Amino acid sequence: MKRFTTFAFSALLALAFSGPSVQAQQVTININTPSWGPAAPAGSQYYYIPEVGGYYDLRDQNYVVERQGKWQRLKSISGYAPSSFHPVVIDYRGAQPWVQIGRHRQLYPVALPPGQVKRLQNGKGLPPGQAKKLYGGNGHGKGKGKH
């Protein structure tokens, strides 16, 4: 057993001192957010843009939108001014952000005012009366309030 231990130790020393040394390299990806978008935390890849019902890829700097039933990546979208967008940073990394489109459309409807997006992100929900404005209704529920 001692002979095996000595052999193993010798082999490790030989490997350590022979050949070129291998060093780990770090790759840094610098993501510049567009002038029309909010600051994105490190590691973020997409904005969801309610106005177009699609996404903006921060890494590739292109839009991901559905056209004729297929998701496409485009450098620009005609008919829209990015300055009128209300983008929301989403927590998704990968090549298919649309797998969560139903959830994003529900959380960030087009009619939602910009200030309300922040409230939803913080988990505070809609303020009193806002649900009526967004979803209609007369405010008369089945409660036991005075009529």
If pLDDT is split at 50, 70 and 90, which confidence band does 29 have? low
114 — alpha (psi -120 to 50), left (phi > 0) or beta?
Answer: alpha
If pLDDT is split at 50, 70 and 90, which confidence band does 143 have? very low
Rg of the chain over CA atoms, in angstroms? 26
Rounded to an integer, the average pLDDT of 127-137 is 51
Candidates 105, 84, 36, 93; CA nearest to 60 is 93
pTM of this structure: 0.58
Q: Decide which of 23 and 42 is more confident.
A: 42
- What 118-127 contacts at long range (C-beta under 8 Å, 24+ apart), as own/partner pairs, is 121/88
- Chain segment 56-111, per-residue pLDDT in tens: 999 999 999 999 999 999 999 999 999 999 999 999 999 999 999 999 999 999 87
Q: Which residue's entry shows tokens 């913080």?
A: 122
DSSP string of the chain, one letter each residue? -HHHHHHHHHHHHHHHHSSPPP---------PPPTTS----TT--EEEETTTTEEEETTTTEEEEEETTEEEEES--TT--GGG---EEES--SS-GGGGHHHHHHHS-TTS-HHHHHHHHTT--PPTTHHHHHH---S--SS----
Residue 147: the pLDDT is 44
Distance from C-alpha of 89 to C-alpha of 81, rounded to nearest angstrom: 19
By mean pLDDT, which of 23-37, 38-52, 95-109 is the weakest? Answer: 23-37
